[in-house]
Amino acid sequence: MCGIIGYTGPREPVGVVLEALSRLEYRGYDSSGIAFFRDKGEVAVARASGKLSRLVEALEGISGLAGSAIGHIRWATHGAPTEENAHPHRSGPIVLVHNGIIENEKELRLDLEEEGFTFTSETDTEVLAHLVLKAFLESGNLTDAVRKGLEKVEGSYAIAVMCEARPGELVAVRKGAPLVLGEAGGEFFIASDVPAFLKWTRKVMPLPPEVVATISPSGLTLQGSKDGRTVSPRFEEVPWDPVQAEKGAFRHYMEKEIFEGPRAIMDTLEGRLGEDNTRVFLPELVRLGPNPPEIVFVACGTSYHAALLGRRMIESLSPVSVHVEISSEFRYRPLRYRKGAWVIGISQSGETADTLGALDLARREGFLTIGMTNVAGSSITRDTEAVLLTRAGPEIGVASTKAFMAQVTLVWLIALYLGRRESREVKESLSGLVRAPARLEGFLGSFDSDAISLMARKILDSRFVIFIGRGLDYPLAIEGALKLKEITYRPADGYPGGELKHGPIALVEPGVLVIAPLIDPDLRPKELSNIREIEARGGTVLTIGPARASKEFSPSFPLPDCIGWEGVFSASSVLQLLAYHAANLAGTDVDQPRNLAKSVTVE
């Protein structure tokens, strides 16, 4: 977690770094800090606990000299989120910011203490500052000092380092944590993620692992951290529009991103359907050879829910059997899948440590691995045999919304790709997918937000909210519950409808609200009988389903009528908006819910 930024160039650096940090706030927001040249040869460090706004207030009216500057936004792992533990950390003239976890921090700290170094924080990062200083005192060269200083460090890191003796110079290196470089006509950026500097440049290069980047007034050089070999920089233009990373007229990123759902679906389909929309092209998979005997999805959180939908879709349209595993559990089990199985990791960020670890294990066990991610150049894209990109654009709100829509689109495409092209099911399903973005756009455009606000109020009045669903509705139910609890902090859980009577139904009594998405046409009669069981026990049930799907019920929140799976998109939007409105009523911080971070780069 944590976000880091580095800048060197002619601009006033404090403004640049603070603005870039505001775009990285989704990665963590326990504390923040900045280092910049106040005077030639004097680096000023400012840090604040709490949200970035506290640092911004503290720096009001303060500017720095053009040259290098670094900044950090923290999600605490080692040490409480206090000002002392906030980055940057300093050792003599060396000042650095770090994202990652140093696993042998304890022994390194003991060694350094024995050598006379004193520590002022509880962080693992301070160890790095001392190690770099030690090496710098020997060589006087910042790049060499970073290479040498990190030699004994185990764990993951992305760091940006500056030195009081060298204004205009910035050194960065990464291993196991993300870092991208941006270039804009002689000025350079280093950041944990592209949106941080998208306002200034779209020329981007992911920094390869264990390559040291040195940016100085004479330009950028890249050097292998172990062997010192020279690496040539290769910048590429990312297609992201800077406006996509802004809030626009919306109150929150989450709200904006929900309304970007149709665009995320459309962009993810772009170029993957033939001219007449009757074929699916996934060249990334063609390269892997014939269809596999089995697919194993590994993912966490919302991405895991998209994988559950993928299983249902793939198993409906093709003979391929599918397993869905939570990455953190998969990592520590023997893998007894069939030879030739594909292991597909789904990760919006492409940086989730557990999913990367799961894919790594699968690869070592001889399975073909595929990374499905929203972030080109992220870690998952570097270590897998094939990469499938969702194209939701930058997702800033911590709760995943439009990226989920894009993931569902892509797993649906995989199902169509694996199915028999000539079959009626595949043809019908494909035409459903083709019309889905426009239909979702129309639905969101005429959205009844009063009805949602009313439901949101009921949610807040309920002690506990239960989400139920069967078939396709089950992943929607657990995704609805996740969204609600992560941004409202209200107790909520999702269950398969058929499982209720094996325990959870004991929770049902007057005053308990149950929310039931009802878009799976095959299981609707069974879902309706689960609803009756709840109502018989005094629970209140809110249903979300197609307006004319069944004579027996009229949904509390009607969706457009649909044949097949398009309802997944409209029902998901309603669940996302429900959580969003409930959070607004509850007054929580929608885009940055407590204790969470957008990329979970720790195990």
> Comparing C-alpha atoms, which of 210, 164, 220, 158 is closest to residue 188?
220
Using the rule CB under 6 A, give the single segment among 316-324, 341-349, 386-394, 556-564 that binds ligand F6R.
Answer: 341-349
Alpha-helical runs (H) found in 446-523: 449-461, 473-488
Question: With binding defined as CB under 6 A, does residue 300 bind ligand F6R?
Answer: yes
E strand residue ranges, 255-319: 294-299
Question: With binding defined as CB under 6 A, does residue 381 bind ligand F6R?
Answer: no
CB contact at 8 A, 596 and 583: no
**Distance between CA atoms of residues 264 and 267, nearest Å:** 5
> Comparing C-alpha atoms, which of 77, 59, 379 is closest to residue 208?
379
Residue owning tokens 């079959």? 423
Q: State the catalytic residues.
A: 2, 598
Binds ligand F6R (CB under 6 A): choice among 349, 390, 409, 488: 349
CB contact at 8 A, 292 and 369: no
Strand order in the sheet with 94-102: 89-91, 94-102, 155-163, 170-175, 211-216, 219-224, 230-231
CA 268 to mean position of chain CA atoms: 17
Nearer to ligand F6R, 44 or 602 (CB): 602
In the complex, the smallest distance separating the C-beta of residue 599 from ligand F6R, rounded to whole angstroms, is 6
Q: Which residue is nearest to ligand F6R (CB)?
A: 301
In the complex, the smallest distance separating the C-beta of residue 299 from ligand F6R, rounded to whole angstroms, is 6
Nearer to ligand F6R, 47 or 74 (CB): 74
Q: What does the block give as tokens for 504? A: 């959870």
Look up residue 88 and give its DSSP letter.
P
Using the rule CB under 6 A, give the single segment among 83-91, 160-168, 247-255, 295-303 that binds ligand F6R.
Answer: 295-303
Nearer to ligand F6R, 302 or 592 (CB): 302
Using the rule CB under 6 A, give the single segment among 164-172, 299-307, 415-423, 547-555 that binds ligand F6R.
Answer: 299-307
Binds ligand F6R (CB under 6 A): choice among 2, 133, 146, 399: 399
Nearer to ligand F6R, 306 or 508 (CB): 306
Binds ligand F6R (CB under 6 A): choice among 225, 347, 488, 573: 347
Question: With binding defined as CB under 6 A, does residue 302 bind ligand F6R?
Answer: yes
Question: With binding defined as CB under 6 A, does residue 348 bind ligand F6R?
Answer: yes
Binds ligand F6R (CB under 6 A): choice among 244, 355, 384, 390: 355
Using the rule CB under 6 A, give the single segment among 167-175, 202-210, 332-340, 348-356 that binds ligand F6R.
Answer: 348-356
Binds ligand F6R (CB under 6 A): choice among 352, 379, 543, 573: 352
User: Rounded to 5 degrees, what are φ and ψ at 112?
Assistant: -65, -40
Report helix, strand or coil for 516: strand
* 465-469/492-496 β-pairing: parallel
Q: How far is CA 224 from CA 8, 158, 231, 259, 597, in A?
A: 21, 15, 7, 43, 31
Using the rule CB under 6 A, give the single segment among 221-229, 239-247, 278-286, 298-306 that binds ligand F6R.
Answer: 298-306
In the complex, the smallest distance separating the C-beta of residue 395 from ligand F6R, rounded to whole angstroms, is 8
In the complex, the smallest distance separating the C-beta of residue 404 from ligand F6R, rounded to whole angstroms, is 8
Residues of span 463-482 touching ligand F6R by CB under 6 A: 482
- Four-CA torsion 299, 302, 305, 309, nearest 10 degrees: -100
Question: With binding defined as CB under 6 A, does residue 573 bind ligand F6R?
Answer: no
Nearer to ligand F6R, 383 or 425 (CB): 383
Nearer to ligand F6R, 300 or 370 (CB): 300
**Residues 6 or more apart from 68 whose CB is under 8 A from it?**
6, 7, 8, 13, 36, 37, 162, 167, 168, 169, 170, 215
What are the residues binding ligand F6R (CB under 6 A)? Answer: 300-303, 347-349, 352, 355, 399-400, 482, 486, 599-600
